[in-house]
């Protein structure tokens, strides 16, 4: 008797999802197969055998010059293995995770920190933990489905993803980007003081590189009895010392924000994230976040290197001081060349171009001429509000930065933007 | 008979409260998006407030049709319980 086999799903069954038409309609603007980088990512990268000066790397400190990252990773791997291979609650965390979490708590000025495989999981886990209801037994319960969230419109996708399903316009409201009076209006309107309210904003925003009005946001939280969470992914270990920009905001995050999210993929140059805050809440997050328990953790050697990198940056402020001066120099040169950037003192340079087609053309020309420059165009930003978003890298030479600037000026003249 | 001046007045206050646009600016010929500079997130909040205030449910496929303040006033008045 022949055994019938279940036929493989036919491609036609996916037709109602219209994936093929979607991809075909957009391939002139968007690459759906990601380009492949050969070798390590740094101030330059190799794609298709071509070297490109890289303005897309979110890890910008050229750390291998200051921290023997790869040797430490190997050391951490030898001592602690490559994978946690088990849940935090059942098997436990590796020693490097515990040390990393204590290190992050210390450097953020909070009682405790909990680590996640990525910053995205940290953010989703935070929202989930703050809005969960769980009942195990009498007295062992939380009922937080009535938490009210008020967020800056431009917060990261991961926050919006976490808030999905909580009811925009009911339990979730947004205020215009960096608009404290908008925040105040929402908090007044929803009578935040009578509710469990959480305000979420970022320190440095990824699209425009601006620093949020942190002090004023925290003032409004105090005024309305709201809990604050600051996503400091782009600021962690960069801002804080008095000699650097945004010392006031960094101090406010440290001293006044209830919770802070940090990323290990920016200044720290690795992968991972954490939420730091009051110990009782973070203890509860172990069970309530979901994203610390039901998925993989940061690889142990990564946690091992992250701790050492954080301590190196704290003990050697010149590493970040020099980088910030390097980024500021490029900003100054751009202004002197009559190329405006979004007003901010942060290391991220955001160059408004405007016309979407012009920005996308620039992106192609840049690659042909040896530069990898991220372009934000519609729908990532509003129509014809396209911009270039640059991360100067500590490893970029003067020659590379001068070359980039003169190339940009040439394109602007050519396109009339 | 329903007084659509009352509806306009109430709607203008909803828009002022939610979006910070002065109620005097919220006049029938104005487009929410192009003239009053409201985005889709604000429109969701305004729609929900309209539902709560007037008892009028606006289905998702109707929201896009309410381009102007006048469109919204007419819809509300035509569907009030």
User: Are B17 and A189 an interchain contact pair (Cβ–Cβ within 8 Å)?
Assistant: yes
Nearest to A185 among B20, B47, B48 (CB): B20
Strand A37-38 to strand A375-376: parallel, antiparallel, or no bridges (unpaired)?
unpaired
Residues in chain A closer than 8 A to B17 (CB atoms): 185, 189
Give the whole-angstrom CA distance, residue A214 versus residue A192: 19
**Position B2 confidence tier, pLDDT thresholds 50, 70, 90:** very low
* More confident position, A295 or A322: A322
pLDDT of B81 reads 84
User: Are B45 and A181 an interchain contact pair (Cβ–Cβ within 8 Å)?
Assistant: no
On average, the pLDDT of chain A sits at: 93
Distance from CA of A49 to the nearest CA of B (A): 44
**Position A12 confidence tier, pLDDT thresholds 50, 70, 90:** confident
Average confidence (pLDDT) over B20-40: 91
Helices within A167-240 (DSSP H only):
180-189, 214-224
- Report the SS3 class of residue A114: strand
A286: left (phi over 0), alpha (psi -120 to 50) or beta: alpha
Using alpha carbons, select from A304, A274, A276 the residue that is nearest to residue A291. A274
Q: What is the CATH number of the domain that holds A232?
A: 3.40.640.10
Mark whether A256 and A166 lie in a shared domain. Answer: yes
Mark whether A296 and A363 lie in a shared domain. Answer: no
Interface of A with B (CB under 8 A): 153, 168-170, 173-174, 181-182, 185, 189
* B77 noted as active-site residue: no
Mark whether A192 and A134 lie in a shared domain. Answer: yes
Structure tokens at A217: 């946001």
Structure tokens at A182: 């908008």
Average confidence (pLDDT) over A357-379: 93
User: Are B18 and A181 an interchain contact pair (Cβ–Cβ within 8 Å)?
Assistant: no
- Single out the residue in A267, A288, A315 at which a domain terminates: A315
A41-77 pLDDT, tens digit per residue, is 999 999 999 999 999 999 999 999 999 999 999 999 9
Q: What is the CATH number of the domain that holds A51?
A: 3.90.1150.10
What percent of chain A is predicted at pLDDT more than 90? 82
Nearest to A169 among B17, B20, B44 (CB): B44
pLDDT of B1 reads 43
Distance from CA of A153 to the nearest CA of B (A): 9
Residues in chain A closer than 8 A to B20 (CB atoms): 181-182, 185
Mark whether A285 and A397 lie in a shared domain. Answer: no
Mark whether A256 and A157 lie in a shared domain. Answer: yes
User: Are A168 and B18 an interchain contact pair (Cβ–Cβ within 8 Å)?
Assistant: no
Residues A60 and A392: beta-carbon distance below 8 Å: yes
Q: Which of A148, A169, A187, A378 to mutate to probe the B interface, most B CBs <10 Å?
A: A169
Which residue of the set B6, B37, B39, B52 is catalytic? B39
Average confidence (pLDDT) over B56-75: 89
Interface TM-score (ipTM) > 0.85: no
A150-181 pLDDT, tens digit per residue, is 999 999 999 999 999 899 989 999 999 999 99
Using alpha carbons, select from A186, A249, A247 the residue that is nearest to residue A221. A186
pLDDT of A368 reads 96
Let me know if residue A57 belongs to a domain: yes
Let me know if residue A170 belongs to a domain: yes
- Give buried/exposed letters for A94-103 (b at 16+ CB in 10 A, else e): bebbebbbeb
Domain enclosing residue A245, as ranges: 69-315
DSSP A57-124: -S--S-GGGTS-HHHHHHHHHHHH-S---S-TTTT---HHHHHHHHHHHHHHT-SEEEEESSHHHHHH
User: Are A181 and B20 an interchain contact pair (Cβ–Cβ within 8 Å)?
Assistant: yes
Residues in chain A closer than 8 A to B47 (CB atoms): 169
Mark whether A166 and A308 lie in a shared domain. Answer: yes
Average confidence (pLDDT) over A334-344: 92
Average confidence (pLDDT) over A400-412: 96
- Single out the residue in A315, A344, A360 at which a domain terminates: A315
Mark whether A289 and A335 lie in a shared domain. Answer: no
Mark whether A112 and A210 lie in a shared domain. Answer: yes
**DSSP state, A15?**
G
Average confidence (pLDDT) over A248-263: 98
Q: CATH for B4-79? A: 1.10.1200.10
| Residue A353: φ, ψ to 5° | -110, -40
Q: How many CB pairs under 8 A join A and B?
A: 18
Mark whether A241 and A146 lie in a shared domain. Answer: yes
- Single out the residue in A315, A330, A349 at which a domain terminates: A315
Nearest to A170 among B17, B20, B48 (CB): B48
Lowest mean pLDDT, pick from A135-139, A355-359, B57-61:
A135-139
Mark whether A53 and A182 lie in a shared domain. Answer: no
**DSSP state, A2?**
P
Q: Where are the domains of chain B?
A: 4-79
In this predicted structure, the answer to whether residue A296 has a pLDDT above a threshold of 50 is: yes
Name the domain count of chain A. Answer: 2
Using alpha carbons, select from A130, A217, A134, A135 the residue that is nearest to residue A166. A130
In this predicted structure, the answer to whether residue A2 has a pLDDT above a threshold of 60 is: no
Distance from CA of B78 to the nearest CA of A (A): 24
Lowest mean pLDDT, pick from A22-31, A118-127, A253-262, A321-330:
A22-31
Let me know if residue A165 belongs to a domain: yes
């Amino acid at each position: 008797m022949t055994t019938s086999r279940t036929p493989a799903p036919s491609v036609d069954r996916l037709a109602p999802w219209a994936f093929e038409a979607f991809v075909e309609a957009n391939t002139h603007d968007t690459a759906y197969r990601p380009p492949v980088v050969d070798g390590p990512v740094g101030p330059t990268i190799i794609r298709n055998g071509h070297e490109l000066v890289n303005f897309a790397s979110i890890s910008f400190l050229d750390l291998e010059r200051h921290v023997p990252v790869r040797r430490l990773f190997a050391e951490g791997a030898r001592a602690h293995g490559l994978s946690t291979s088990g849940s935090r609650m059942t098997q436990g965390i590796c020693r490097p995770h515990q040390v990393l979490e204590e290190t992050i708590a210390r450097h953020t000025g909070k009682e405790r920190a909990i680590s996640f495989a990525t910053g995205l999981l940290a953010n989703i886990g935070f929202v989930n933990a703050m809005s969960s209801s769980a009942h195990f037994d009498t007295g062992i319960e939380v009922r937080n489905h009535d938490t009210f969230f008020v967020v800056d419109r431009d917060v990261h996708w991961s926050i919006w993803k976490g808030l999905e399903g909580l009811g925009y316009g009911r339990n979730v409201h947004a205020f215009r980007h960096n608009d404290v009076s908008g925040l105040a209006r929402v908090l007044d309107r929803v009578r935040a003081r009578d509710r469990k309210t959480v305000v979420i904003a970022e320190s440095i925003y990824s699209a425009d590189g601006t620093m949020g009005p942190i002090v004023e946001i925290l003032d409004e939280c105090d005024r309305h009895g709201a809990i604050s969470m600051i996503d400091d992914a782009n600021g962690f270990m960069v801002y804080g010392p008095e000699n650097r920009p945004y010392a006031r905001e960094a101090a406010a995050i440290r001293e006044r924000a209830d919770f802070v999210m940090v990323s290990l993929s920016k200044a720290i140059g690795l992968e991972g994230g954490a939420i730091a805050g009051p110990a009782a809440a973070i203890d509860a997050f172990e069970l309530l976040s979901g994203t610390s328990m039901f998925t993989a953790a940061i690889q142990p050697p990564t946690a091992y290197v992250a701790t050492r990198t954080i301590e190196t940056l704290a003990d050697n402020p010149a590493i970040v001081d020099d980088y910030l001066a390097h980024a500021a120099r490029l900003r100054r040169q751009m202004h002197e060349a009559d190329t405006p950037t979004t007003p901010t003192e942060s290391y991220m340079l955001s160059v408004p171009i405007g016309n979407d087609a012009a920005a996308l053309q620039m992106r192609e020309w840049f690659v042909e001429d040896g530069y990898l420059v991220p372009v934000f165009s519609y729908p990532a930003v509003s129509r014809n509000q396209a911009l270039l978003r640059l991360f100067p890298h500590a490893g970029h030479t003067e020659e590379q930065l001068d070359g980039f600037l003169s190339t940009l000026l040439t394109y602007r003249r050519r396109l009339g933007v | 008979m329903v007084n659509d001046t009352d509806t306009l007045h109430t709607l203008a206050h909803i828009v002022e409260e939610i979006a910070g646009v002065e109620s005097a600016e919220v006049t029938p010929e104005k487009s929410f998006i192009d003239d009053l500079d409201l985005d889709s997130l604000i429109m969701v909040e305004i729609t929900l407030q309209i539902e709560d205030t007037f008892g009028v449910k606006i289905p998702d496929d109707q929201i896009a049709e309410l381009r102007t303040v006048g469109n919204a006033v007419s819809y509300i008045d035509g569907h009030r319980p």
